[in-house]
Amino acid sequence: MKTSLLAPNYKDTPYWWDRTKRPILAQIDLPKKVDVAIIGSGYTGLQASIQTIRNGLETLVLESEQAGWGGSSRNGGQISTSIKPNFTELSKRFGSEHARAILQEGENALEWVGKFIQEEGIDCDFLKSGRFHGAHTPNQYQILKRNFEQNQQNFDPETQLISPAEQHYEIRSNFYHGGLLYPNHASLDPARYHQGLLDCALNCGVKIKDRCAVRKIERQNEGFLLYTDSGTLQTRELAVSTGGYTGSVTPWQQRRIIPIGSYIIATEELEDGLVDHLIPMNRVITDTRKLVVYYRASPDRKRILFGGRVSLNETDPNKSVGALHTQLTKIFPQLAAARVSHSWMGFVGFTFDFLPHTGVKDGINYSMGYCGSGVSLASYFGAKMGQRIAGLPEGKSALDDISFPTRPLYFGNPWFLAPSILFYQLKDRYFS
Ligand SMILES: Cc1cc2nc3c(=O)[nH]c(=O)nc-3n(C[C@H](O)[C@H](O)[C@H](O)COP(=O)(O)OP(=O)(O)OC[C@H]3O[C@@H](n4cnc5c(N)ncnc54)[C@H](O)[C@@H]3O)c2cc1C
């Protein structure tokens, strides 16, 4: 990598952490017994905890690192309706009624998270920015167009087809061949949102113990005994919300979650007006490539944040800078001289069927596998999990306890990742 690519103040930590310092929590003693223990302090765990505490259950969140250290303070801050499989794929597996209900949960999650942020007064740059989804080849545009015209009933009525001629209103790039616009999709600052959730949970009386990993779970007559870095603890109810960091302490979930690294760079502050020129409507942007890229302006509209997958195997964010910058400049050649101020990565929890999963297994509640769309889904299904634990009917969802697939010989180490990524790279380049 050319060192000239790096801004003088370059950091290999998330851009968001400059704006929202990592929280320093008051150290608490591990209680001997609680009603509800939740493993993981991201959006899922905190949203669940807010529901359980508000319904009178003494709740403790356990986090092995600092609060929010996982995907929830590192992500791209893009919010969409988020269910990956389409209606046809879901109908084959679940029938058309259930398929519709599952897709509706994605819409519910998008609406729910915006309402939650507003009601709780969380200052996190939440904006209904809209999302432009670009076609990276003329053929992909024809596929998008055909799908949109033939299945309009399955799209939000406000979705618009953007022809190649109209594209420059959305993005000043010739990289795409038209696309789709989802005006209701949104953006936020993920770490500020997490900080708002953390404040809300603490104010409600949730106890949060960070730097305290759960090492072992033992089933007991009335609940569970947890072995943690700070001793043991009894809990009546247990919830796992470990996302792409799900480990061997919950082996059943680990066999079902595929951790995939996602890498992001932030440019240094660009010259005045350049971001407004490149992304004039302030959309968040994705495209039709199987090997996903996602990008947007920073909330102050001075930088571009660009994320994706750049190597076959996991790598160091310091090494991914060059490849991400190259991808960025293929879309915006205007940024060839722009230096990078931040580069970071985090693990996204994928599933074998590309659906999020929530339910109860052997008495342990879980909600995970948002496949890179967890800002809304983790928030919504986390809250539902908390409501379910509290025995509330609102806790039910169309995804409850649907079968959560694994594969033979898969134990949490995705040995098949490199060949799959190579396959998608070739497909995107030569067969799209
Ligand atoms: C780089 C990146 C970009 C992304 N971009 C987007 C985006 O633009 N839009 C979007 O919707 N989603 C995005 N996502 C996905 C989104 O961030 C996640 O889906 C979401 O944050 C998941 O929240 P969570 O609470 O389930 O898990 P996390 O926030 O990952 O939290 C899990 C926590 O569990 C803790 N933990 C694990 N094991 C233990 C243990 N044994 N004991 C105690 N604690 C433990 C971990 O330390 C971690 O902090 C992105 C993710 C990444 C990594």
Residue showing tokens 């953006």: 187
What average pLDDT is seen over the chain? 94
Whose tokens are 């929010």? That residue is 68
Evaluate: CB of 370 within 6 angstroms of ligand 1. yes
Write down the pLDDT at residue 34: 98
Q: Which residue has the higher pLDDT, 423 or 39?
A: 39
Place of tokens 């302030």: 282
Q: Give the start-end residues of each E strand in 309-369.
A: 340-350, 357-361, 364-368
Pick from 101-110, 344-353, 412-421: least confident: 412-421
The span from the first CA to the last CA of the chain, in angstroms, equals 29
Spatial CA neighbour of 209 closest among 62, 69, 9, 57? 62
What is the rounded CA–CA span in Å between residue 169 and residue 79? 21
How confident is the model at residue 309, as a pLDDT?
Answer: 82
pLDDT tens-place string over residues 171-228: 999 999 999 999 999 999 999 999 999 999 999 999 999 999 999 999 998 999 999 9
Q: Is the pLDDT of residue 3 over 70?
A: no
Q: Checking DSSP bridges between strand 33-39 and strand 59-62, what pairing results, if any?
A: parallel
pLDDT tens figures, 258-274: 999 999 999 999 999 99
Residue 37 banded pLDDT, cuts 50, 70, 90: very high
Nearest-CA neighbor of 262 among 317, 309, 318?
Answer: 309
- Residue 279 tokens read as 């992304």
How much of the chain, in percent, has pLDDT values that exceed 90? 86
Whether the pLDDT of residue 365 is over 80: the answer is yes
Coil/strand/helix, residue 390:
coil
Using alpha carbons, select from 158, 134, 111, 172 the residue that is nearest to residue 294.
134
Atom of ligand 1 nearest to the CA of 368: 26
Contact 124, 278 (CB under 8 A): no
Q: Is the CB of 397 under 6 A from ligand 1?
A: no
- CA of residue 161 to ligand 1 center, whole Å: 32
Class of domain 3-130+184-430: alpha beta
Q: How many CB atoms sit inside 10 A of residue 139's CB?
A: 13
| Whole-number Å distance between alpha carbons of 346 and 12 | 12
Task: Name the burial class of residue 189, with classes exposed (0-12), middle (13-18) and buried (19+) by CB atoms within 10 angstroms of its CB.
Answer: buried
Point out the least confidently predicted range of 158-167, 306-315, 347-356: 306-315
The pLDDT, as a whole number, for residue 401 is: 79
Cα 224 to ligand 1 centroid, rounded to whole Å: 24
CA 70 to centroid of ligand 1, rounded, Å: 4
Does the CB atom of residue 10 touch ligand 1 within 6 A? no
For residue 254, what are the CA distances in angstroms to 86, 262, 361, 379, 412?
Answer: 26, 19, 13, 21, 5
pLDDT at 233 over 80: yes
- Kindly state if the Cβ of 356 falls inside 6 Å of ligand 1: no
Q: Is the CB of 16 under 6 A from ligand 1?
A: no
In the structure, what pLDDT confidence band is assigned to residue 151 with cuts at 50, 70 and 90? confident
The reported pLDDT for the residue numbered 150 is 84
366 Cα: distance to centroid of ligand 1 (angstroms): 14
Say how far residue 121 (Cα) sits from the centre of its chain. Answer: 22
353 against 414, higher pLDDT: 353
Q: Pairing state of beta strands 223-228 and 214-220? A: antiparallel
So what's the pLDDT on residue 424?
Answer: 76
The 10s digit of each residue's pLDDT in 70-127 is 999 999 999 998 799 988 899 999 999 999 999 999 999 999 999 999 999 999 999 9
Helix segments in 243-285, DSSP class H? 251-254, 274-278
Q: How confident is the model at residue 2 (pLDDT cuts 50, 70, 90)?
A: low
- Res. 1 pLDDT band, cuts 50 70 90: low
Whole-Å CA distances, 312 to 349, 406, 415: 17, 22, 11
Tokens of 65: 């690192």
pLDDT at 319: 92
Of the candidates 388, 99, 426, 131, the one whose C-alpha atom is nearest the C-alpha of residue 281 is 131
Is 116 near ligand 1, meaning CB less than 6 Å away?
Answer: no
The verdict on the CB of residue 368 being under 6 Å from ligand 1 is: yes
Amino acid at 238: L
Q: Please tell me the number of Cα atoms within 13 Å of 50 on its side-chain side.
A: 23
Q: How confident is the model at residue 312 (pLDDT cuts 50, 70, 90)?
A: confident
Which two structure tokens, joined as six digits, stand for 346? 């985090």
**Triad 393, 397, 398: Cα angle to 5°:** 140
